[in-house]
A and B are shown apart, each in its own frame.
Chain A
């Protein structure tokens, strides 16, 4: 059973989103890291680059798959987690903590369409066959 913290928000494409005052933090869920397997490489954007909602913002790679990470809302990258570039294993070990990927400052305050933990739990359940 994969770990889905209640306080976070989620997307259908298996990202988690943590909302702070000015910024949001993005990572991949426990379900995603299990499906991918041991990560071997993480490609993060440059700080100060701008992204649209739904645009690819990062890539994570294991030996058997490569997955695009999508930015949920239009915004500017303010910080990236250098630690996972050095050690991609952090994403597997602690996907919601030390394995965070990108911090983005949204351009406007309109709430992005995100799933609650309960809704995301349903998504994961429907994918398991």
Chain B
């Protein structure tokens, strides 16, 4: 039985070595009416109880450090420990964000060099590191596009085009920037439908948001034509960097015609996912959009670094965070890029692509249905379990849950929405052939179970701390905080 920390709490218990000094009674210079009278519901436990409780909780998780994690579009590659340790050095860790520039040169050097590296891998002219996740990077990029059109008094453009296969953050970010969203259908070959695109562009088009390779795991072959269509109509192109690991060191978004790009450092640059963040979504832009980049950014003058602020960048879309975004994550990404270097960054996309195509070939040989059998996998690919669902009554969800029993985290399920009963599989380059073979072998076993003993699959998982959870009950009977009365 897993107790909550509140179940273990006992009134008056305390971790005494954490007290700041002698206990103070009260402060007499704050009016009594402003003081809190009740006691907030925080745990009252000993230090050992807290350590034991949370250590045991951690052991209920799957993680990259413990399991193969082929989550498509998430790039769950190894998070190097060395990089983490360096970012935790005292001078970085205990450094106040509002320190004077003279006292921040070490950190700023790292940030400046990261800006330069990100410009280089994307083929862009300027970089801003402050957006704190991919979604915030998207917001920044779309806001920059908006600012660009407004600066030219081009006020009719209120539509952003988004493929129907796009990640949900794309239309959500566009709406957050005050745009209307227009969906473009995808063709059977996995590419954006060019004819539909041509029909959709016009004087209202502010821009298009694309991922390349797309969320379907394939390269958008006509990207240069798409760029031409959009630019000719007066719109701009936004690149969602979620799949950048597939083309890092191989293709540059700038060359493809994109005007602004965000990168997901917690994907491509191996910063840890942390159970749901923190991530980092820096934006890079070409000449046209340079003036609108968010602040703060780092500039170099001679051998000194300084902060660029609103005064230096009068057309900036502004500040997106209280301080320098997820600075610690930026540091980790910088150290990762320094470890890999030029050669290593090339190899990442090569081996990510090799691993994906290898699994794809083996699964196809084993009888699984590929969503796009005539296309190369990028660093990820999709299988559809539509046939198995129809014939054997097992769903992609059931497969995913049964994989957990085999010690593999499930791939991404039911995304993109276009492909029914799909699993989006992304192994990344840091996995060995043995691990990939183990995964394929498990998939084959589960398919066999679906034929011979389907309850094993539909009732999965069987071996985890909990069986399948009732999320309908969770949404209907909201239990979001622990009440002592419960």
Contacts and interface: CB of A to CB of B under 8 A. Distances in A.
- Direct chain A–B contact by Cβ atoms under 8 Å: yes
Interface of A: 37-38, 40-41, 61-64, 88, 129
Contacts, number: 17
Contacts of A40: 472, 475-476
B434 interface: no
A84 B337 CA distance: 55
Contacts of B476: 40-41, 88
Nearest to A41: B475
Q: What are the 8 tightest A-B residue pairs by CB atom distance, in nearest-first order?
A: A40-B475, A38-B472, A63-B471, A40-B476, A63-B475, A63-B472, A40-B472, A129-B420
A88 B471 CA distance: 15
B362 interface: no
Chain A interface, >50% SS class: loop
B282 to A, nearest CB: 31
Contacts of B228: none
Interface of B: 386, 414, 420, 471-472, 474-476
Nearest to A63: B471
A129 B471 CA distance: 27
17 contacts: A37-B472, A38-B472, A40-B472, A40-B475, A40-B476, A41-B475, A41-B476, A61-B475, A62-B472, A63-B471, A63-B472, A63-B474, A63-B475, A64-B414, A88-B476, A129-B386, A129-B420
A40 B472 CA distance: 6
B477 to A, nearest CB: 9
A89 B476 CA distance: 10
A37 B475 CA distance: 13
Contacts of A38: 472
Contacts of B386: 129
Given A63-B472, A129-B386, 13 more contacts: A37-B472, A38-B472, A40-B472, A40-B475, A40-B476, A41-B475, A41-B476, A61-B475, A62-B472, A63-B471, A63-B474, A88-B476, A129-B420
Contacts of A63: 471-472, 474-475
Nearest to B414: A64
A12 to B, nearest CB: 16
Contacts of B471: 63
A63 B470 CA distance: 10
